[in-house]
Structure 1
Amino acid sequence: MLVPTFDQLAELRDKETLKVDILAGITVALILVPQSMAYAQLAGLPAYYGLYASFLPPMIAAIFGSSRQLATGPVAVVSLMTAASLEPLAASGSEGFLMYATLLAILIGLFQVSLGVLRLGVLVDFLSHPVVLGFTSAGAIIIGTSQISKLFGVTAERADHHYETVYNVIQAALTDTHWPTVFIALLSIGIMVGIRRWKPTWPAVLIAVVFTTLISKATDFAKRNGAIVGEIPEGLPGIAIPQLSFDIFLDLITAAIIISLIGFMEAISIAKAMAAKTRQHLDANQELFGQGLSNIASGLFSGYPVSGSFSRSAVNINAGARTGFSSIVTAAVVGITLLFLTPLLYHLPQATLATIIIIAVVGLVKIEPIKHAWKVEKHDGIVAVITFVLTLYMAPHLDKGILAGVFLSMALFIYRTMRPRFAMVSRHPDGTFRDLSVFPELETCKNIIIIRFYMSLYYANAGYFETKVLQVFAEHRDAKYIIIDAEGINMVDSTGEMVLTQLRERLEAAGVIVLIARMKRQFMQSMRKAGAITTTEDERFFSRLTFALEYAWDQMECDQCDNSKGCPLRISVARKQYDAREGTPALPTPVDKIRTLVTEE
């Protein structure tokens, strides 16, 4: 549905639902107003641009998205990436920088809307979990350290690399620290940390903003060379369509694609978690559409790129929000703030906004998940660590760090699939077929070889598959049949089909028949479309491994494999050989029950 929120209108007739949605919307707005101003400055924009980006986008995303509780607006990572993308093009806060920011939001929105309409949300999957882990942890450190100058009230020369800029800031802080600013920063941190610990239901951010703003005004903090927010234009933002040239498009398109994918991944992650909790339907493509429209609205009304927020969405659902109406209430409160309350924010210290950012991103630095990824798959751990290191080193060019992580994760995946597990199997006494490298004591048949390939057969591993099969053929000169257990082959591309067809022809010319068992539907479709399977050859393909064995036994004349039941690939023979061994423990399953089981592993 184009506007999923229409389905929720009937629920608002319930007074209790309406009440909790209004309260949840107000609660989120109390956090969003100061937080959005802080994130706007992180993006290199005036603080009020955060309010502009918090007015229409939450409402648009709620109306056109599929998540009921997702809180859309300025977020830390997207704000940082916005600054990193635009700083090479214009000076922070300049007129050109502001224009680029609105254009970037529009381009991001157009890209997301296009993906949603074309139902291409799966492109987000190219950003693997290890890449996101490494990038977000590094991004959180970059975000936090970028605020050090505001904590100490100093300015420093901006260098080509972020770590050099941080060093310059620390050098300046050693000699030129503004102690009233440090006091405000420490007070803000103390208020937010203390309230979250002892009164977690209170709006800690809002209380810190109100308290430090009152202190700033009472002590003439600005006249003591303290940095404050200053004048904020009153009124709602008007529509403005920025001019877009082809050169500007080329400058922004790469950043727009990367930020749109990163931003949407953050949004869809929290949306999925909430949908699982509330058991509500979530459509990723519809969510892309909604997020895209919210970014377009943000850019057209003097905002900058937005996304779904982890922290504010958690506040929204914990406050009891049931429908998207809560986000509409949030947008209304921001609109009221822009119309009537901006003079109250004049004396808000910049140090307070810096502490809001730092407190918000501390939880994004996650080392344990990286360690866990390393334990599960070492290559994933390597990707996470390298992405983390490269993002830190290349900052402020964050796009290079994440692109390097994406290409590395794809390269390692291809590398892993180039040499998948290849096994020869034989009958186990319990009736299943087991890998001979794991169970070397199993008896084998000299005439029938059974092999398994545990990966889709495609261009990167087709040559490896061919080499391994020919190696088996060379080592078993008495083999008359090679049975390929294709249960682990999910698909076959044109290279895989060609190799498999040529391999069958070469082996059959040498007197060895190739049989294929337990094929998946996709496997058979590829073979039929390629003309590799004809009506006369269909007898070489079997739905069960036991059917392929029966075919081989019927076709051969062999003392071991004929009807004398002497083949070790038969259940009865494998069991008899097992029982004949001295000191072997009894099998837990009786033979008469084994015969009724599926005999393939």
Structure 2
Amino acid sequence: MSDAAGETGQSDSAEPPAEPPAGGPHPPKRGPVRRYLARFGTRRTMLSDARAGLVLGIESIPDGLASGVLAGVNPVYGLYGYLFGTLGGALATGSVYMSVQATGAMSVMIADVPLVVGSDRQGVVIATLSILTGLVMLGLGLARLGSLVRFIPTAVLVGFINAVAVNIVLGQLANLTGYAGEGANRIIRTIDTFAHLTSIHWPSLVIGAVTIGLILLLERTFLGPLSLVVAVVLASLLPLVPWFGDAAIVGDLTDVPNAIPLPALPDPSLTLDLLVPALSLALVGLVQGAAISGSIANPDGDYPDASADFRGQGIANLTSGLFQGMPVGGSMSATAIVRAAGARSALANLLAAVVMIVGVLLLGGVITQVAMPALAGLLILVGVRTFKPRDLVMVWRTGPIQASVLAVTFVLTLIVPLQYAVLVGVGLAVVLHVARQSNRVVIRRWVYADSSPHPVETEPPAVLAPGEVVVLVPYGSLFFAAAPIFAGQLPEIPDRCERAVVVLRMRGTDELGSTFLRVVTDYAERLRRAGGALILVGLGDRVMTQLDATRATVVIGRDRVFAATPRIGDSLDAGLAAARAFAAPSASSGPGEPEASDRDR
């Protein structure tokens, strides 16, 4: 459900390679079917996978119900999401170990979609949302955009995940206390709850507290991950005692049939209303899943392809939606549980889904007796453990830009619907990054001393002098937003500046935008009118092509544009030779400029 920040499972060694055949040193290549079946291990790994699948399957039943409660929907839809998400992920992800389930962040996001929570056709809406989310994930995977997640700044993720942790805790106060606070968001509803302490249902509060205490106690025993299940079961027995008798149970919200749900077709008319939530859910799910792809190797020692995991999570969502399950994504916590329990292949997750199916078929009536305050206690503990103050402090100390992105994302996640908060956070990070990069463009002048072949870097002159040869080197990203900053640092051109030459070294710049090209050509034209010249050196192939295609070489002069060569300094030597030839009638060279044999490195 909610993903832990770190991996808690033990490392699993891969199966020893098969002995090479007698006829040669290398084993024969396996066909695609055999390669696919290899993800489910061998006879030697079956026992370990069966044990791990049993642990994850049993643990996922109350966890799936809790996920539905957290999302504000029928808890059964959370359980179905766990079941069919785990099944689809086991069959399709590139990561052998990845468990695909509804994460805490995704569940809280669903709770902020009014069309889902308030619908009288909740099953159809959930199915539509899951399928849309799956299509987005699958499309990104087919387009091989697995690297997309690296563009999501850490400040956004840290702010979002920690605010989600707060939302998880605050969102369960109603189930924990038996009093539903009123207000536009969770903060206001929490304040209203504390303002009505006399309305708290104390038996429910006790059940939730007992659940948390039992989990903390039983985790120290041999039960391990199963302590969650045992704690919820034991706490759910308390309503049998008269004083706890009117505490809410799952059966008060819905019936849990002893059957697998029938397929449900999505409603295409809901696409536009659910598109933004689906995009946000896909983004969050894929980012959380990417933590698994990048940190947990497959049994063969290779790390899975992130795009393959995108496709697998997409298929898992399509499977979940087809059977009215909630949207799902790669779950670090579930993956950690199944690996810690001894998983050796994808068979463990496949068997976990089978265990959940058996649980639904045999224990439907029992599941309805689970106490809602017990699930609330479980979720509150998950929320507290998801909150990472160290990550907040680390990002906050990184710098004002990162701190601003962190603060805005954190606050927005608390007060606005989460599907908008995460998109705004990403958008803000992009804008601030562009602003920061544009302001980092710096121009320096290279001046050579007679006794050294190496240049001394200084500030460029404020104003060009007649007959002066100035070598300028820009540092930073030369994209459209940086063009005005770049232009403001170029030396001023007086009305008359005969024989002055500006040599602009562009080595390392592989592309120029139209805005930047206009700045360069305008400067070249102004220099020409004042009697001077602009020379460009160290140009890459793509920049040369751009200059020719836009006819910028006509404005600058084709004989004043010099392409980069493999040997550093050749193009600058050629450019300086042209500059000296242009300035020769009034001065042999600008002060401090190198002789023809000097190299500009």
Q: TM-score, normalization: structure 2?
A: 0.82
Match of 1:168 in 2: 192
The answer (yes or no) to whether the contact 1:188–1:212 under 8 Å persists in 2 is yes
Match of 1:237 in 2: 261
Instruction: Count matched residues.
Output: 557
The answer (yes or no) to whether the contact 2:553–2:561 under 8 Å persists in 1 is no
Match of 2:54 in 1: 26
The answer to whether residue 366 in structure 2 is matched with residue 344 in structure 1 is yes
Provide the rounded CA distance (Å) in 2 between the counterparts of 1:322 and 1:538.
65
The answer to whether residue 470 in structure 2 is matched with residue 449 in structure 1 is yes
Provide the rounded CA distance (Å) in 2 between the counterparts of 1:212 and 1:227.
12
SS at match of 1:460: helix
The answer to whether residue 415 in structure 2 is matched with residue 393 in structure 1 is yes
Residues 85-112 of structure 1: CA deviation (Å, up to 9, x unaligned): 1x2x3655x6333332222112211222
Match of 2:182 in 1: 158
The answer to whether residue 333 in structure 2 is matched with residue 308 in structure 1 is no
Provide the rounded CA distance (Å) in 2 between the counterparts of 1:561 and 1:373.
55
Percent identity over the alignment is 26
186, 208, 213: which one pairs with 1:190?
Answer: 213
The answer to whether residue 444 in structure 2 is matched with residue 416 in structure 1 is no
Match of 2:314 in 1: 292
Deviation at 1:62, TM superposition (A): 2.4
Residues 380-419 of structure 1: CA deviation (Å, up to 9, x unaligned): 220111111122122xx22332233223222212222333
Match of 2:14 in 1: none
Residues 271-323 of structure 1: CA deviation (Å, up to 9, x unaligned): 22213997424223322222122112211112111111121112223334333
Which runs of 5 or more structure 1 residues have no equivalent in the other structure?
Answer: 574-597
Distance 1:243 1:11, change over 3 A: closer
The answer to whether residue 233 in structure 2 is matched with residue 210 in structure 1 is yes
Amino acid at match of 1:409: A
Provide the rounded CA distance (Å) in 2 between the counterparts of 1:361 and 1:487.
51
Amino acid at match of 1:451: L
481, 488, 494: which one pairs with 2:501?
Answer: 481
Match of 1:137 in 2: 162
Match of 1:58 in 2: 86
SS at match of 1:95: coil
Provide the rounded CA distance (Å) in 2 between the counterparts of 1:4 and 1:374.
48
The answer (yes or no) to whether the contact 1:65–1:290 under 8 Å persists in 2 is yes
Deviation at 1:229, TM superposition (A): 1.9
Amino acid at match of 1:213: S
Provide the rounded CA distance (Å) in 1 between the counterparts of 2:127 and 2:39.
36
Amino acid at match of 1:80: V
Alignment of 1:428-439 (within 5 A): 432-433=454-455, 435-436=457-458
The answer (yes or no) to whether the contact 1:561–1:567 under 8 Å persists in 2 is no
Deviation at 1:528, TM superposition (A): 4.2
The answer to whether residue 98 in structure 2 is matched with residue 70 in structure 1 is yes
SS at match of 2:446: strand
271, 282, 298: which one pairs with 1:260?
Answer: 282
The answer (yes or no) to whether the contact 1:131–1:402 under 8 Å persists in 2 is yes
267, 273, 276: which one pairs with 1:251?
Answer: 273
SS at match of 1:226: coil
The answer (yes or no) to whether the contact 1:101–1:299 under 8 Å persists in 2 is yes
**Greater Cα shift, 39-48 or 527-536:** 527-536
Provide the rounded CA distance (Å) in 2 between the counterparts of 1:211 and 1:479.
91
Distance 1:268 1:188, change over 3 A: same
SS at match of 2:257: coil
Distance 1:155 1:178, change over 3 A: closer
The answer (yes or no) to whether the contact 2:127–2:325 under 8 Å persists in 1 is yes
Match of 2:121 in 1: 96
494, 504, 510: which one pairs with 2:514?
Answer: 494
Match of 2:11 in 1: none
Deviation at 1:36, TM superposition (A): 0.9
Match of 2:4 in 1: none
Deviation at 1:525, TM superposition (A): 4.1
Provide the rounded CA distance (Å) in 1 between the counterparts of 2:475 and 2:444.
12
Residues 516-561 of structure 1: CA deviation (Å, up to 9, x unaligned): 3444454344334434458954763343663244335544277999
SS at match of 1:54: helix
Provide the rounded CA distance (Å) in 2 between the counterparts of 1:403 and 1:110.
19
**Greater Cα shift, 347-356 or 33-42:** 347-356
The answer (yes or no) to whether the contact 2:441–2:478 under 8 Å persists in 1 is no
Deviation at 1:333, TM superposition (A): 0.8
SS at match of 2:444: strand
Match of 2:23 in 1: none
The answer (yes or no) to whether the contact 2:87–2:350 under 8 Å persists in 1 is yes
The answer (yes or no) to whether the contact 1:5–1:324 under 8 Å persists in 2 is no
Deviation at 1:267, TM superposition (A): 1.4
4, 29, 38: which one pairs with 2:66?
Answer: 38
Provide the rounded CA distance (Å) in 1 between the counterparts of 2:90 and 2:456.
54
Deviation at 1:509, TM superposition (A): 4.5
Distance 1:27 1:268, change over 3 A: same
Distance 1:4 1:427, change over 3 A: farther
SS at match of 1:239: coil
Distance 1:55 1:546, change over 3 A: same
Provide the rounded CA distance (Å) in 1 between the counterparts of 2:305 and 2:123.
33
The answer (yes or no) to whether the contact 1:41–1:47 under 8 Å persists in 2 is yes
Amino acid at match of 1:108: T
The answer to whether residue 197 in structure 2 is matched with residue 179 in structure 1 is no
Match of 2:27 in 1: none
Deviation at 1:328, TM superposition (A): 0.8
The answer (yes or no) to whether the contact 2:454–2:600 under 8 Å persists in 1 is yes
Provide the rounded CA distance (Å) in 2 between the counterparts of 1:264 and 1:466.
41
Provide the rounded CA distance (Å) in 1 between the counterparts of 2:200 and 2:500.
84
The answer (yes or no) to whether the contact 1:62–1:325 under 8 Å persists in 2 is yes
Alignment of 1:516-555 (within 5 A): 516-533=536-553, 536-537=558-559, 540-543=562-565, 546-555=569-578
The answer (yes or no) to whether the contact 1:266–1:310 under 8 Å persists in 2 is yes
**Greater Cα shift, 286-295 or 501-510:** 501-510
Match of 2:15 in 1: none
Distance 1:436 1:349, change over 3 A: same
The answer (yes or no) to whether the contact 2:468–2:501 under 8 Å persists in 1 is yes
Amino acid at match of 2:438: M
Provide the rounded CA distance (Å) in 1 between the counterparts of 2:562 and 2:344.
58
The answer (yes or no) to whether the contact 2:496–2:531 under 8 Å persists in 1 is no
Provide the rounded CA distance (Å) in 2 between the counterparts of 1:243 and 1:549.
64
Deviation at 1:17, TM superposition (A): 2.6
Provide the rounded CA distance (Å) in 2 between the counterparts of 1:220 and 1:569.
96
472, 477, 480: which one pairs with 1:459?
Answer: 480
Provide the rounded CA distance (Å) in 2 between the counterparts of 1:113 and 1:517.
45
The answer (yes or no) to whether the contact 1:121–1:285 under 8 Å persists in 2 is yes
Provide the rounded CA distance (Å) in 2 between the counterparts of 1:390 and 1:537.
56
The answer (yes or no) to whether the contact 1:58–1:331 under 8 Å persists in 2 is yes
The answer to whether residue 130 in structure 2 is matched with residue 105 in structure 1 is yes
Deviation at 1:79, TM superposition (A): 0.9
Distance 1:562 1:52, change over 3 A: same
The answer (yes or no) to whether the contact 2:235–2:371 under 8 Å persists in 1 is yes
Provide the rounded CA distance (Å) in 2 between the counterparts of 1:367 and 1:104.
32
Deviation at 1:81, TM superposition (A): 0.8
Provide the rounded CA distance (Å) in 2 between the counterparts of 1:492 and 1:61.
43
Amino acid at match of 2:302: Q
The answer (yes or no) to whether the contact 1:423–1:436 under 8 Å persists in 2 is no
Amino acid at match of 1:455: G
Provide the rounded CA distance (Å) in 1 between the counterparts of 2:386 and 2:35.
35
SS at match of 1:498: helix
The answer to whether residue 377 in structure 2 is matched with residue 355 in structure 1 is yes
Amino acid at match of 1:36: G
The answer (yes or no) to whether the contact 1:485–1:545 under 8 Å persists in 2 is no
Q: TM-score, normalization: structure 1?
A: 0.82
Distance 1:299 1:12, change over 3 A: closer
Provide the rounded CA distance (Å) in 2 between the counterparts of 1:80 and 1:538.
61
The answer to whether residue 103 in structure 2 is matched with residue 82 in structure 1 is no
